[in-house]
Structure 1
């Protein structure tokens, strides 16, 4: 569209043109629009000058459309119809909320949350459309910072360096170790990190730059004073399961990923060390003008049931007092670099 051709036209000119055509005169149009007749006449004169054509034959009473006016009237009516639809879409009808709300999630959170959120919004706000954007943790944070999405569900780690973001914790989930069936530790009630640190490990995470970015795993081993060997990383839970099943290493991942994957070929065992968990939060921009549609979706996400996990006594004892601020402060003290 060539915006330079239309940017100097005013919608009130079009409204006055259609009103005069429909009501058969300037006085009648002024009365219908609660405007003065000189104001209506000025609108028509400005529109005619901008278009370079005469729209009404003023030599007859009541005034009649010129051939050019008759040709343009359907287009002017369509403009007003479209504008009315735009207003309806923005404000909704009878108080309904409309809009497309973009939410970025990592795969296992998307598999759990997105269907629940959509079904709830279908019931409560049928004119709202939830748009899914799946990605890696780092990419999700960057997308929210750029304004490419409206909401994000991602772990607290790594922290996002944008003071304009706010978050609310959704759940804390333990990390689990994954073994192929028949492995010596597959029947254990729980394992310690020092039992698997010397083995090849397979994790969910990002390593496109050649460095390990499975943040919770790195944090857990660092807190235990151990240096693991990360053999493989993948962002797809089912790929991780396949790698472990084929003997490529012992898997370490978050519990929700395994709940959403087919784990019939492997065994998941709780990790007993402290700090072996991840805290997942809902993130949004707090420095932007409020949106009713975004707020409705945010409220819906916060109201959904949380996933349930089996927790060991050791992992349960890692819950920190003080809520999310204490969690953030504690995690800022650990530099993954």
Structure 2
């Protein structure tokens, strides 16, 4: 039987846009997975480099690779095209400049089997930033678990990045109900997607770090968009009031979501302050969700610093807002999900896709 006619267990969605320098590394991590029953759907979103050709040359004989080309429409449209083409019961996401450890799909399938009602699945992930700074985020312990309050737990991590899109998968059932990514958004579409799925479906996480998020790459979309930002609200802030049945949601669950949205607003404003982008920051910090949250006082200080052109103070406050002390002060007790963070400087011999060791390591459970 033609392997392409068989239904794979997992469909891997990889948007590709001008990532020829990195895509072979990403693809190699996919084909090195311990789980072999998958399809890799690469959606070339109008690239002007030879990334798709490199993939085709390297893996043309492997029937698990599918390359789809489309006119440039943005990363969300590329992911949505991949989701529409998926044949598996799970859709796992991997950006073309990120990579997986060999056991990533194995762990995703393990938590899918253990928690069949979960619609959003994730593993721990490693961030590699410019200058060799490394951090890892995941659940404490040794066993997979359901996240009892995703939004409260996510506020323990800078930018609410409890999960990263390259470390996540969703079920076909959840996708059929909730749909794909918001399109034509310069940034934040992945945060909205994850929050929407976390609101309507249980979230299951595996503690092992099996994905690598490369933030050190100079073409970071977040950095480019942040510098050009003119004050538009993040996608999540605009979309969540329109979610189906949101007005009928459990009040405690809705409150947790709104506190998370306020946190996203605050962290977004802090980022733009740090980049010297004054446009609309003060208005952002006056958003009703912030004014009704525990961030009200700190937002007032940041707004004063921006209005008074005290950017050195504002930038110092941004650094504090990224600190462990800030997150400890914001998180209350009773959160069943705990965040593990390991921080260190990666040396020249520190492997990216192999051992998880770093030169200096500190572990904290919130």
Instruction: Please indicate the TM-score interval, normalised by the length of the shorter structure.
Output: under 0.3
